[in-house]
Amino acid sequence: MMYRTMRNIHLFLGLFAFFFLMMYGLSAVQMAHNGWFNLKPSVSGQSYPVPQPVPSDARALSRYLMDEHGLRGELAQVRTTGTGIQFRIVRPGTVHQVEYIRDKSELAVQTSVADFWGMLNRIHHIAGLHHEYRLINIWSVFIALVSAGLILIAATGIYLWFKTHTERRIGTILLILSLGYSLTLMVLMRTAG
């Protein structure tokens, strides 16, 4: 009964997390071997009229671009320059670089859109529940669920292996080798100063 329960937990969690785990695995390959991939985003430029009265700050300008022109994301990297304001509206895979120059009547927006690999990369880096753009928070919740699931998958995997009596000897050797190698390195690195 216990074995069956563990096997089902292992199976259901693994199947639920399949796409998330593939995302992590594939994007990790891309990051570890970035020379194998070309992550150059496609870039396009656009300009929008400056609203009247002119908003005084980046938040108001970004709100205008979101409400009136459909840009989506959260405000980032606000910089006040001598001539105006620069800021970004960012969501995973898409960056709108906005420049407002006081003397001009237009907002210049340069949009970079990542390809599939770039998108996986950005999803891999999603963290935290503090984002203004709610979709990122929703991603975060599922990433946390999958992470907790991964711990459970590992734990139930150990149980399932241990209950397979014919595999105990070789499995024990492999587990000891693995733990010996990884834990030794972890301790050596953490205590390195």
Query: Rule CB under 8 A: which of 171-190 touch other proteins?
Result: 171, 174-175, 177-179, 181-183, 185-186, 188-190
When the beta carbons of 20 and 100 are compared against other proteins, the nearer one is 20
* Per-residue contact string for residues 30-49; x = within reach of other proteins by CB under 8 A: -xxxx---------------
Q: How many CB atoms lie within 10 A of CB 50?
A: 17
Sequence-ordered alpha helix ranges (H) in the chain: 2-32, 58-69, 116-124, 134-163, 168-190
Q: Which of 75, 89, 92, 100 binds other proteins (CB under 8 A)?
A: 92
Distance CA 15, CA 54 (A): 52
When the beta carbons of 100 and 133 are compared against other proteins, the nearer one is 133
Distance CA 124, CA 127 (A): 9
83 neighbors 101 (Cβ within 8 angstroms): yes
Q: Does 140 bind other proteins (CB under 8 A)?
A: yes
Shortest spacing between CB 82 and other proteins, in angstroms: 18
3-state secondary structure of 191: coil
Q: Which of 41, 108, 135, 159 binds other proteins (CB under 8 A)?
A: 135
